[in-house]
Structure 1
Amino acid sequence: MMIKILTVIGARPQFIKASAVSRAIQNVEGIEEVIIHTGQHFDDKMSQIFFDELSIPVPKYNLDIHGLKHGSMTGRMLEGIEEIILQEKPNYLLVYGDTNSTLAGALAASKLHIKVIHIEAGLRSFNMNMPEEINRILTDRVSSLLFCPTETAMKNLQNEGYDHLDLKTFNVGDVMYDTTLYFSQLVNWGSPILERYKNQPFVLCTLHRAENTDNLDRLRNIIKGLNEISKSVNILVPLHPRTRNIIKELNIEINFEIIEPVGYLDMLGLIQNSRLVMTDSGGLQKEAFFLEKYCLTMRDETEWVELVNNGYNFLIGANEELMLKMFNEVFDKKLTDGKPLYGDGQAAEKIVTLIQEYAS
């Protein structure tokens, strides 16, 4: 039996995860994958470079939907994906993570009685003010195969009664761990950005989450703290275009170094060369851990609770005083005793095997 999977991706973290799973699909017979790119991340530095570097199959469809409010974006994606489902007639629709693209794909498929596969299921921040939390909860509920990255994620689903629903849940490990292991061996250390910063200490920082960028007090506090830290060490910030525009519109003074977004391989290199990672990203918290770096997370909660519980990641919110305190505690310290929290690096292969098993 040939299995047809329609995969929906749209944002940088999904491109990274898809590289592992698509590679695993290509290594087996009996599965055809058709990719839809919603266009949620459309800038070449946020999108095309990842397809080029990670050898992701070229999407058959590109919906080119971006820059809209949540409702408009999700609605237009849902409409576009629905038309493609009717045309392609897949056995499964596969989604990753917690973006608007994720929710739109899951809703479109479930309403057409196509089984949904959710990779990175079961994650919870327990903050319903985050659009990502709404997306991941709703996506889990309409999915048939839920692939969890951690035991915590499995327990979240059990606590919500998923053991009593007509679906299957599995702890397969984290596909981002697969990807980090694979691509960290392929970093081009001679690239211009890595050459430029190879001999100087720096903190790597990203800042893009709406709870920080759309809240003026939080944004000012975070930037004030970063400005203070930058007096003692260079802070390198590959800045999301949306965040850059907000800072410019508000005329907030910046004393640290802003650079253009970088590709995945350069980002892995920057993490490895950094002395500390600071972020409000979900994925970068894990990549820092995988590459043995401590992380200060500029959020009030995280779905990656095992990193906090084991002392590898520290939640500092938008608290300038706490930011400076934790920076002084962990800057330039090596994380060498990391526990195997995210599987064995074979999550993608396990996912593909299980899809074949439950499709037969």
Structure 2
Amino acid sequence: MVSITFIAGARPNFMKIAPLIHAVKKQQKEGEAISYRLIHTGQHYDEKLSETFFRQLNIPHPDANLEVGSGSHAVQTANIMIRFEEELLKNPADVVVVVGDVNSTLACSIVAKKLHKQVVHVEAGIRSFDLSMPEEINRMVTDSIADHFFTTSEFANKNLKKAGIEADRIHYVGNTMIDTLLANQDRLRKPEVADELHLEENNYFVLTLHRPANVDEGEKLAETLRAIMQNAGGKPVVFPVHPRTASILGQTGLKYDNLHFIDPLGYLEFIYLIKGSFGVITDSGGIQEETTVLQVPCLTLRDNTERPETVDIGTNVLVGTAIPDIEREVKNLVSGNRKTGRVPELWDGEASDRIIRKLIELYGEE
């Protein structure tokens, strides 16, 4: 029997974990001796950031919720470690599977290794090479102690090999977030806001901003929004506001008739909006991948990306954060200079099946 503990702590984790759980259940039906526990650390605890995903993505409720809540990086990481250690001691597993790059990824990896458990990192090897990003530190530390690495691209493979990881521990499988995207294409839901705002297909922007470099200073955020709105050609700009951003936005007093702040959406509604949009402006990591698969132009307001395949192969343009660059790229897109691309290798909806089959091969009984 292969026993797996899956760790999820933040919104993107659920999209990556959901297809892995479905793949486990598929193997169980085929008679494989494999079991799992799903642990929600509670790193994100807002209803719209986690609960919705259990329901929409057909994931069972977690076997345990550590309910750590928010706090500084140190406090949150420490609380996750303390509570996950208790959980893993009570419910041992052969393998702890962590995904992505949030504090839960790092904290649970450390705990598992110190309890002499195998650690498997899904979405391993991606790098921005920017140590000002907490996520980059989480990635680097997790990859320094993991036992096996499941990767989304050749870029990630090369990063791990340069770090000295042996080739037989690197498994190029594809992208589990794209598994979720492709599995739910026929289930997307038109959000009420689309009718309320009279959005026309291929004639509106979706905007998401949450990284500190873009939203922590009110004046910088206001300048960024002005750069977008003054060059958006009058198209509606729909901005699902992350809780981090909402309080800062309230201080700017910024208003445009075609700038629409809305509450965060569920996964199926959000992807519906992206799929039907003229383009997406974001500083998110996962959205760079989703827009590439959906063949929607994406402008990424960051100075670096840990997903270079979306730029080299896909529909993503790495804009930077300088106001003149933002103005130029939004204007270019509106004028018809739409970047086209192709879908990266193995982003075919079957990454999770590959992962679970490999875990059975690695850890199943001889």
TM-score, normalised to structure 1, is 0.93
The equivalent of 1:124 in structure 2 is 127
Find the partner of 1:279 among 269, 274, 282.
282
Aligned position for 2:212: 210
Equivalence for 1:169: 170
Deviation, structure 1 residue 128: 0.4
What CA deviation, in whole Å up to 9, does each residue of 1:182-230 have, x standing for no partner?
11221134x4234444436210010111232234564333222133235
Deviation sequence 1:92-121 (CA, Å, 0-9, x none):
111110000111111110111111111000
Q: 2:68 aligned with 1:83, yes or no?
A: no
Q: Any idea what SS the aligned residue of 2:209 has?
A: coil
Alpha-carbon contact 2:314-2:341 (below 8 Å) kept: no
1:27 aligns with 2:29: no
1:192 corresponds to which residue? Answer: 192
Q: Which moved more, 1:265-274 or 1:204-213?
A: 204-213
**RMSD over equivalenced CA pairs, Å:** 1.9
How far apart are the structure 2 equivalents of 1:233 and 1:174? 32
C-alpha change, 1:108 and 1:66, in structure 2 (3 Å) is: same
Contact 1:224–1:320, Cα closer than 8 Å, also in 2: no
Cα distance in structure 2, aligned partners of 1:174 and 1:311: 14
What CA distance in whole angstroms lies between the structure 2 residues aligned with 1:340 and 1:67?
35
| CA separation of 1:327 and 1:245: change in aligned 2, threshold 3 A | same
1:287 match: secondary structure:
helix
Q: State whether structure 2 residue 365 is matched by structure 1 residue 354.
A: no
Amino acid at match of 2:104: S
Q: Does 1:340 align with 2:339?
A: no
Cα pair 2:80 2:107 within 8 Å, conserved: yes
Residue 299 of structure 1: aligned partner: 302
Q: Would the aligned equivalents of 1:187 and 1:266 in 2 still touch at CA under 8 Å?
A: yes
Moved more, 287-296 or 304-313: 304-313
Name the TM-score, length of structure 2 as normaliser.
Answer: 0.92
1:233 Cα deviation after fit:
1.3
Structure 1 counterpart of 2:261, one-letter code:
I
Distance 1:229 1:259 in 2: 21
Name the counterpart of 1:222.
224
Q: Distance in 2 between matches of 1:254 and 1:169?
A: 49
The 3-state SS of whatever aligns with 1:28 is helix
Aligned residues: 355
Q: Which amino acid in structure 2 is aligned with residue 355 of structure 1?
A: L
Q: 1:13 aligned to 2:12?
A: yes
State the alpha-carbon separation in 2 of the partners of residues 123 and 209 from structure 1. Answer: 18
Deviation at 1:311, TM superposition (A): 6.2
Distance 1:348 1:323, change over 3 A: same
Whether the 8 Å CA contact 2:297–2:340 is kept in 1: the answer is: no
- Mapped to 2, the partners of 1:333 and 1:341 lie a distance apart of 25
Are positions 1:239 and 2:241 aligned together? yes
C-alpha deviation, 1:303, in angstroms: 0.7
CA shift in 2, pair 1:311/1:149, >3 Å? closer
Q: Answer whether contact 1:292 1:335 (CA < 8 A) is retained.
A: no
Q: Distance in 2 between matches of 1:114 and 1:17?
A: 21
Match of 1:308 in 2: 311
User: Equivalents in 2 of 1:125, 1:283: separation in Å?
Assistant: 14
Supply the AA of the counterpart residue of 1:70. H
1:151-162 aligned within 5 A: 151-162=154-165
2:135 aligned with 1:136: no
Cα distance, 1:238 vs structure 2: 0.6
1:175 touches 1:345 (CA, 8 Å); kept in 2? yes
CA contact 1:8–1:94 (8 Å) conserved in 2: yes
Give, in angstroms, the shift of residue 336 of structure 1: 5.6
Alignment CA distance shift 1:113-1:252 (3 Å): farther
